[in-house]
Structure 1
Amino acid sequence: MATRDLLADWQSLGSRQIPANGMPAALTDLRGSLILEGAGHWIQQQRPAEVNAALIDFAREIG
């Protein structure tokens, strides 16, 4: 997630209303989250090294 992403403030998933801080309750296998300050919606292009590092860490965790 990025702090400059207008979609980061979404409040719904399908027809269920989920407050942003309610994601852990709604996503029962959520293993963490990462917020990159100053990044926008295209976070993987704007901050590729940090996104790749997070993905590699995740892959190692589940692997």
Structure 2
Amino acid sequence: MADELLTVPQVMRRLKLGRSAVYDLIRSRRLASITIGRSRRIPESAVRDFIAHELKVAA
């Protein structure tokens, strides 16, 4: 089954972060994303991978 593609506002709600913080994560390549036309989309698995990586680093 394919990943759901999330919008930046959806990722903001899931991670409890502001728009600038999400775009900073994307720019720094800590959060994978794709561009479709003029829209930025983040695969749901990229959000899960980001959380898992941050938990591992924090441990």
TM-score (norm 1): 0.33
Q: Which has the larger radius of gyration?
A: 1
TM-score (norm 2): 0.35
- Report which of the two has the higher share of helix: 2
- Report which of the two has the higher share of strand: 2
